[in-house]
């Protein structure tokens, strides 16, 4: 698995800018960053192996409305949890899929009632 490490929201924003040319790193909020990771986290190839994306649904307005450059308490449990979740999403997003992974994705879809045989 790819080793991705985010120290803060700036690192997460840089990652998004690297994978998505339309992401405007100079005009973003932590909420926009989180929303991008929610979209990535719902991709089948990510969600089948990491369903922590739902933890991002309840991020406080204080964090969502702040900017990556704002002085957030990086040791707060909420911030640490968000960074941990988005790191995991990024790792699975960058992972090369094997045949076994593709089969696992298909099985996950069946379990969730998304794919019908």
Structure tokens at 28: 């973003």
- 33 in helix, strand or coil? helix
- Predicted confidence (pLDDT) per residue in 18-37, tens digit: 999 999 999 999 999 999 99
Sign of CA pseudo-dihedral 113, 2, 19, 90: positive
Contact 10, 28 (CB under 8 A): no
Contact 97, 49 (CB under 8 A): no
- For the chain, 117 residues long, give each residue's pLDDT as a single digit of tens: 678 999 999 999 999 999 999 999 999 999 999 999 999 999 999 998 998 999 999 999 999 999 998 888 877 899 999 999 999 999 999 998 889 988 988 888 888 888 655
For residues 115 and 83, give the distance between their C-alpha atoms in angstroms, rounded to a whole number: 31
Backbone angles phi, psi at 28, to 5 degrees: -140, 165
pTM: 0.89
Task: Return the pLDDT at 36.
Answer: 97
Contact 64, 32 (CB under 8 A): no
Q: Would you tell me the crossing angle of helices 9-19 and 30-41 to the nearest 10 degrees?
A: 60
Task: Output the CA angle 34-71-33, nearest 5 degrees.
Answer: 15
């Amino acid at each position: 698995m790819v080793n991705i490490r985010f120290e803060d929201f700036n690192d997460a924003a840089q990652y998004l800018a690297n994978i998505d040319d339309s992401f405007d790193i100079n005009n973003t909020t932590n909420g926009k960053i989180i929303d991008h990771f929610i979209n990535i986290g719902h991709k089948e190839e990510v969600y089948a192996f990491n369903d922590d994306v739902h933890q991002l649904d309840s991020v406080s307005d204080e964090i969502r409305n702040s900017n990556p450059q704002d002085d957030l308490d990086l040791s707060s449990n909420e911030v640490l949890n968000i960074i941990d979740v988005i790191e995991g999403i990024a790792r699975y997003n960058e992972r090369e899929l094997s045949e076994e992974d593709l089969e696992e994705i298909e099985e996950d879809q069946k379990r969730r009632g998304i794919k019908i045989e």
